[in-house]
Structure 1
Amino acid sequence: MKFFLILLISIFFFSCHLKEKETAAAPAPYPIATEKKKKENRQTGDTIQMNFSNEKGFYTGEGSLDSIRSKVFIKFKNKDLGALEARIVPTTGKGNIRFNQIIFPDKSSDGPFGMDLKIPLKQKGDYILVIGHSLMADNPYWGKFKVQLENKKE
């Protein structure tokens, strides 16, 4: 009987404590000024997920290649048929960097390409662009770059 009473009292105090935390974390009745963060497509590991477009409709992301990450994967979702125009801009101006491959939603692929890519998008779904250096040339590119994608609808 004592055990049951101690258990009941413990549950009561625990539930009261939870209600105090909930009321303390309630939002303020007045708006709090917060700084708007710019939405950017940044590299995480070896992948840049293109989720945010700018006011002109371009998807722009920043990435880098180094001795550990010799390839970067650009992932984007295509909802409309059209043509993809993509461009790589190295921070140094020029370099041994290119679009090595594009992987279509049906898992077929095409490539290699150069620093500019123009290709029709005939499927809806998830696409992957593979960026790396050309194995046919010397001096692999190590450093930062920007990539820009534009889907021109039909």
Structure 2
Amino acid sequence: MKNFLILTISIFFFSCQQKENKNPVVTASDSIPVTEHKEDETQKEEENKQTGDTIFMNFRNKKGLFIAEGVLDSIHSKVFVKFKNEESGELKGTIVPTPGKGNIRFNQIIFPDNSSDGPFGMDIKIPLTQKGNHVLVIGHSLMADSPYWGKFEVQLENTKK
């Protein structure tokens, strides 16, 4: 009985170790030319998306603007918009809440040297003299009633001097 049990267990483990052949054998009758439909990468629109509480602004649209949609909720009461500035210039930004109005604003901008400025309103216009990664903090104004929860769109334009 003991030998039978050992034999059964060893067969079980041996059968689990066999690899499945994922490439089927193709015969001459199966070789019909098939055109594969590949997604054209140039048609795929690149988007700036919110991941957790951060929006990475990596892609510009045809007009040269960074545009992204974000969400403020009870879990993410602040959204961090990160972008890279290559040349000195002026940053113009706008927040557009989905319902039209809302208690939402640019709370702060954090420069590459970790200095900061703010608060601002729903629009921001500030000179960028430092090169590197900048962070915009978006949230509701603590000085006003009823915090904003919902979707919004943020638009950034970096114009060169």
TM-score interval (norm. to shorter): 0.7 to 0.9
Does residue 40 (structure 1) correspond to residue 47 (structure 2)? The answer is yes
Q: CA deviation at 1:31?
A: 6.6
The share of aligned pairs that are identical, in percent, is: 67
Match of 1:102 among 105, 109, 117: 109
Aligned to 2:154: 147
Listed as ranges, the matches of 1:37-116 within 5 Å are 37-116=44-123
Aligned to 1:6: none
Q: Structure 2 CA distance, aligned partners of 1:88 and 1:31? A: 42
For 1:129 and 1:64, the matched residues in 2 are separated by 15
TM-score using structure 1 length: 0.80
Paired residue type of 1:134? S
1:117 maps to amino acid: I
Q: Which has the larger radius of gyration?
A: 2
Q: CA deviation at 1:37?
A: 2.2
Does 2:136 correspond to 1:129? yes
Residues 32-80 of structure 1: per-residue CA shift (max 9 Å, x gap): 4315321111100000000010000000000000111100000000001
Moved over 4 A (4+): none
> How far apart are 1:120 and its partner, in Å?
0.1
Which runs of no fewer than 5 residues in structure 1 stay unpaired?
Answer: 1-16
Q: C-alpha separation between the residues in 2 aligned to 1:81 and 1:111?
A: 19
Letter in 2 for 1:70: S
Number of residue pairs aligned between Structure 1 and Structure 2: 133
TM-score between both structures, scaled by the size of structure 2: 0.76
- Report what 1:8 is aligned to: none
Taking the aligned partners of 1:37 and 1:65, their CA distance within structure 2 comes to: 27
